[in-house]
């Protein structure tokens, strides 16, 4: 038996004409699925060229800012694994205006 105060019992003057027959966030859900979760997904996607440009831009910025120095690994070195994170920049109309790639350390 459902209590009269159960949260799924809705009473009131709500008009069915005000209830939308579709999910309002469906458009954003579809777009979010286009963002790759891995490097392989990014370069093999239909926007692969744009993702490669974003990766190149990130690596060039890190080189320009001297974020790291490339050298040979020595046995005492502790390697930090990294992963790529991909995002898109949108305008006010939700159109993609830029592909972005960020390298992040794990752990």
Q: Choose between 70 and 15: higher pLDDT.
A: 70
Average pLDDT of the chain to the nearest whole number: 83
d(CA 45, CA 30): 15
pTM: 0.65
State residue 30's pLDDT score: 44
pLDDT in tens, 35-78: 999 999 999 999 999 999 999 999 999 999 999 888 899 999 98
Hey, where are the domains in the chain? 25-105
Q: Is the dihedral of CA 80, 65, 88, 48 positive or negative?
A: negative
Q: What is the pLDDT of residue 46?
A: 93
What's the pLDDT at 25? 60
CB count in 10 Å sphere of residue 101: 21
Between 13 and 29, whose confidence is greater?
13
């Amino acid at each position: 038996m459902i209590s009269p105060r159960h949260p799924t019992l809705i009473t009131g003057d709500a008009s069915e004409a005000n209830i939308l027959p579709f999910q309002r966030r469906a458009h954003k859900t579809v777009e979010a699925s286009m963002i790759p979760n891995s490097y392989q997904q990014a370069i093999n996607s239909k926007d692969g060229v744009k993702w490669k440009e974003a990766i190149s831009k990130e690596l060039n910025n890190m080189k320009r800012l001297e974020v790291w120095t490339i050298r040979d690994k020595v046995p005492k070195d502790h390697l930090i694994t990294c992963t790529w994170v991909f995002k898109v920049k949108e305008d006010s109309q939700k159109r993609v205006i830029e592909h972005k790639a960020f390298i992040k350390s794990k752990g």
